[in-house]
Structure 1
C-alpha cells in the first residue's frame, strides 16, 4: 500500500509564517517595552527641559547684558529739570533691569523738594521709567526778599523771581514751623472768594496764630484753620462795623478793636 508524501513546500510555508508571527510579536513587545520606558522617563525629561528653559531665562534676565538698563525716561516735570532728576535718581546703567532697586530710586527722587510723589517702574526691555508728580503752589511766602512757592502741605519747594499773579502771599516769622505753614495753606483754601480778593497777605506765627491783613489795612485775627467756614460767616457781618482789628479766632465770641 502506497502512502502520500508530505508536501515540503507547505511545511516550509508554515515555518515561514511561524517565524513572521514571532517577529511581529517581538516587535510589538519591543514597542510596548519602549512605550513603558518612555512613560517612565517622560516626566523626568520634561522636568529637565523646563529646568533648562528656566535657567536660560534666569540667566537672560538676571545676568545677560541683553536686558540691561540702557536709558532712563522722566515724565511729569515742570519745575524740576529732567537732567537733575536723572542725576538724583542715579539709575545704574548697564546693570540688569530686573535687579534694579526701584524703591531706592524713588526715595532719592522724593528727596527733591518739588517732588510730591514719584512712581518708578521697569519698561522692558531696557528702560527705567520715572513718573514725577510735582507739588502745586497754593500761595507764596515772602521772606528776606525771597519769594517761594508753598504747597497745600506747607512745603516750600520752589523760588520765583517775583510774586506770581493769582497766588496769595504768606509772611512768616523766623521761628515759624512747617506745621504752621500747612495750617496757613488750609486757611487759604477755606477762604470764600469775596474775602480772598480783599486779602493783601496772611501773617503766620504759629498754628493758632494766623492773621489776615486786608488791602485797606484792617487786620483779622483768624487763629487756626479750624471752623473756618463759621469764621468767614461771622466776619462777613463784622466787616460792616468800622474797626481796625477783627478777632474771629473764636467765632462764637468775636471781638473788634477800633
Structure 2
C-alpha cells in the first residue's frame, strides 16, 4: 500500500477516535447536568415539604373567628385544640369543625386555612324561633327544637311553647317546626303554642283568639292560610286541614 494511503488511513482513524471521545464526553456532560438538576429539584421539593408540613414557619399563629354573636371567640378557640405553631397544612380541618359544632348554639361551621399563619373559623349560629319555660328561666330553641340558650326574662316578640303533656324531644321538635314555618307577620301575633301531642298543636294569638293547627305536617301551607284568616271575624281559626279552613 502506498505510503500516502497508510498515512490517510491513520489520520482517519485518529479523527474518528477523537470524534468518538468528544461524543462520549458530551454525553457524560449532559448526563451530569441532568443529574445535578434532578438533585437540585429534589432538594427544593424536600425543603418545601419540610417548610409546609413540618416546620413552624407556616404554622398556626392565630385563629380568626367570624359570624358568631352569642358564642364567644374564646369558646370557639378553646375547641380548636391545636398547638401554637402547628403546621397549618397538617391541621385536621374536619376534626376542628366537629368539635366546634358540639357547641349547642352552633348550627354549622366552616374551617379553612388562611395562609400563611392563620386558621379561619366561620360560625353559623342557631336562630331562636321560640322559647319554652324550664324552671325559672326561658330556654330558646331553633326550628328543630334544639334548646341552645337561656333567658332570664321572656324575650319580646318570640312565641312561647307550652306543653300540657310530656315534652319529649319529638313533641318539642314538632312545636318548633310549626313556629319556624310561620310567616313573620303571623309569628309576631302568636302569644304561645300549646302542645298536647304531636298531632294536637294549637296556637293562641295575642288578641285572645285560638288556632287549631293539628300536626306539624303542611305547616308552611297552614301558615299562609292563617295569614289570610287573620282578617276574618271569629274566635277560633281552624287550619288543621289547610285545604278546608274554618272560622267560628
TM bucket (normalised to shorter chain) is 0.7 to 0.9
2:117 is aligned with 1:126: yes
Which residue in 2 is equivalent to 1:87? Answer: 78
Correspondence for 1:147 among 116, 138, 153: 138
Task: Quote the Cα distance in structure 2 between the aligned partners of 1:197 and 1:113.
Answer: 25
Which residue in 1 is equivalent to 2:11? Answer: none
> How far apart are residue 239 of structure 1 and its match?
6.1
**RMSD across aligned positions (CA):** 3.2
Correspondence for 2:229 among 220, 236, 240: 236
Correspondence for 1:162 among 153, 170, 176: 153
Q: 1:125 to 1:202 in 2, by over 3 A?
A: same
> How far apart are residue 221 of structure 1 and its match?
2.8
Correspondence for 2:213 among 222, 227, 230: 222
2:97 is aligned with 1:106: yes
Which residue in 2 is equivalent to 1:76? Answer: 67
Number of aligned residue pairs: 233
Stretch moving more, 140-149 or 128-137: 140-149
Task: Report the TM-score, using the length of structure 2 for normalisation.
Answer: 0.77
Contact 1:69–1:127 (Cα < 8 Å) also in 2: yes
Which residue in 2 is equivalent to 1:53? Answer: 44
Which residue in 2 is equivalent to 1:203? Answer: 194
Q: 1:41 to 1:151 in 2, by over 3 A?
A: same
Task: Report the TM-score, using the length of structure 1 for normalisation.
Answer: 0.74
SS in 1 for 2:229: helix
Q: 1:30 to 1:108 in 2, by over 3 A?
A: same
Which residue in 1 is equivalent to 2:178? Answer: 187
SS in 2 for 1:213: strand
Greater Cα radius of gyration, structure 1 or 2:
1
Provide, for residues 13-64 of structure 1, a one-character-per-residue CA deviation record: whole Å limited to 9, x for no partner.
xxxxxxxxx99x95x7665433221233444333222211111111222222
Q: 1:185 to 1:34 in 2, by over 3 A?
A: same
- Please list every run of 5 or more consecutive structure 2 residues that lacks an aligned counterpart in the other structure: 1-13
